[in-house]
Amino acid sequence: MHRIDLERVTLQEQLLRFTHFDANTAWELGCRLRHKAFERQQSLVIDITVNGFQLFCCAMEGTTPENTDWARRKRNVVQRFQRSSYAMGLHFSLKQVDLMEKYGLPSSDYAAHGGCFPIRVSDVMVGTVVVSGLPQRDDHNLVIEVLCEMLHQPIEQLRLP
């Protein structure tokens, strides 16, 4: 299952790219994520950061500061490796190593768990979108679902099996 998910996430990372991304795009993405979570009665922290500048942040009813910290730690992984946090978690699980062992990165600052995805404009990573509050695979799937809608990509081909 890990290998299948990792292959699918790699495809997601290749196809889910913007032609432009600005504050208005961040607002739309954040609002779409919040709306989906609200409809499903899910509690999330949502964060969209571009070039180190937080453009969207929302802590929904039922979240705690722990969710915000998870979001920060996931974002750090994506900024460091320029891959989704779920892809990195799968990669390290398959290699049977962790971030501290391999790179000296403490778990207090880095979390290779699903929910953070790189925002790319063409081939350049410009930021991150992260959600925290659900099980990691569900966090990842929610981000992918909304990105597919915004970027007019077929969710059937990109959804995790």
Q: What is the pLDDT of residue 1?
A: 72
SS3 state of residue 74: helix
The 10s digit of each residue's pLDDT in 72-100 is 999 999 999 999 999 999 999 999 998 89
Residues in the chain where the model's pLDDT stays below 70: none
Q: What are phi and psi of 113, to 5 degrees?
A: -130, 150
Q: What is the pLDDT of residue 41?
A: 98
Q: What is the pLDDT of residue 137?
A: 96
Residue partners of 51: CB distance under 8 A and separation at least 6: 126, 127
> Residue 131's domain is classified under what CATH number?
3.30.450.150
Count of domains for the chain: 1
Long-range CB contacts (< 8 A, 24+ apart) of 106-109?
107/73, 108/73, 109/72, 109/73, 109/76
**Structural domain boundaries, residue 75:** 2-158
